A and B are shown apart, each in its own frame.
Chain A
Amino acid sequence: MRVVIAKPGLDGHDRGAKVITRVLRDGGHEVIYTGIRKTPEQIVSILIDEDADALGLSSLSGAHEVLIPKICEKMRTAGLSDVIVFAGGIIPEKDHVSLYDSGVRAIFGPGTHSETIIDFLIEISQRKKRGEPTGVGEEIGWHWD
């Protein structure tokens, strides 16, 4: 898959994002890393230009509350409903439901094994083949856990 990894928000730590980038590369994916401090608009235009299949968002300092739902919304508006969104980083349990509701299909906390992320993408491609909803603008309900 072609996966874009982005780190929205203003803080400059991208270690987590870089780790995910390597994990996905070693799992056979083509990973486009965008660097830090990207706005939702910029992330959406990168997804379009790179014809990405999935977007991984790394969030450390509360970016998930506003920015992740905003990015999901902008993706739907831009016609990227079939693109998969997953998130990683420090995201409190209580916020998971609302993220799933905004179209995120998986949330990986600190200490997630790398195989788990790869398995998620395998599951995604199987679901796609069966025509089951996976994209950010497709029917909400299923998520990885």
Chain B
Amino acid sequence: MNSESELLNLALNGDRRSLAKILTRIESGFEPTVSVQNPWTLGVTGPPGAGKSTLIGALISKWLKRGEKIAVLAVDPSSPKSGGALLADRIRMQGTESSDSIYIRSIASRNHPGGLSLFIGHMINVLSASGWSRIIIETVGSGQSQTRIVAFADRILLVEGPDRGDIIQAEKAGILELADIVTVNKSDLPNSKLAYNSLNSSLSLNQNNSISTHLVSALNGDGIDDLFSSIEKCPKSTQREIIRQKERLLSLWDSRLLNYHGLNQLLEQLSTGSITLDEAVDMIQ
């Protein structure tokens, strides 16, 4: 077994096997030190089945033509019961095994205290330092921990299906606020135009939005060119750095709390009413 610094060096020099192994080590807590200049990151989120992976597949072919090197971190939830996970995003990214310029890694969210946020930043840094010029993070847009992961990206693309209910959910969950670009996918299906209109009207109610909206079909390619140029033009927002640091802080905070040695005892005391919530918080500090 190679040491971590050896693996890291090999990875930075372009060895894919070592890169893959370093990512595994990061998942189990290794914190690499690498110097990076401005990783380019895009978070892709949205409800299950909206077509995130298929759409990423379509975007990948466009990046390839421009000579970019594309890495995708595809995150899927682990089953809380068995701890297992089904990682099937790469099936939808067609033809992507055949190029040296594409790296796809499936990641199970596992049940890390504090979520994946503590690792994803390290993974991005290693990928960027190894020469990957476009780094895409796919997560299902449900639940807070998933939103936390996507907050690590400099630009966020929200993908919706033709179901208007989903757009309303995204708005409620605050994901709409995080997004830079929103696209309704599956324009080849009926109702997608309705969903697109209703998206635009929800956004127009909002004063300070610079969100660009699209209607595309990942399947037949309609609208993909426009979406692609929006993504490429989308600036890295400075506000994002604040959000990112906040999510990191919250993750670390959660992780400290969940790993606190006296947690079970505190919960016990809280449940019998022998201490108050405020007292519990003071005891942890």
Residues B84 and A30 in contact, CB atoms below 8 Å apart = yes
Chain B interface secondary structure, helix, strand, loop or mixed? mixed
The yes or no answer to A33 lying at the interface (CB within 8 A) is yes
CB-contacts of A7-49 with B (<8 A): 21-22, 24-35, 38, 41-42, 45-46, 48-49
- Number of interchain pairs (Cβ within 8 Å): 65
Stretch binding the partner chain, chosen from B18-26, B191-199, B253-261? B18-26
For B, the interface residue count at a CB cutoff of 8 angstroms equals 24
Interface residues in chain A, defined as those with a beta carbon under 8 Å from any beta carbon in chain B: 21-22, 24-35, 38, 41-42, 45-46, 48-51, 78-79
A121 to chain B, nearest CB (A): 11
- A33 in contact with B88 (CB, 8 Å): yes
Residues of B within 8 A of A (CB): 16-17, 20-21, 23-24, 78-79, 82-88, 90-91, 97-98, 103-106, 108
CB pair A29–B84 under 8 Å, yes or no, is: yes
Q: Is the CB of B84 within 8 A of A49?
A: no
Select one of A30, A41, A48 contacting B87, CB under 8 A.
A30
Picked from B16, B78, B83, B88, the residue with its CB within 8 Å of the CB of A49 is: B16
B56 → A minimal CB distance (Å): 15
Judge whether B97 and A28 touch: CB under 8 Å.
Answer: no
Inter-chain CA distance A44–B87, complex, in Å, is: 17
Q: Which of B16, B21, B87, B98 contacts A33 (CB 8 A)?
A: B87
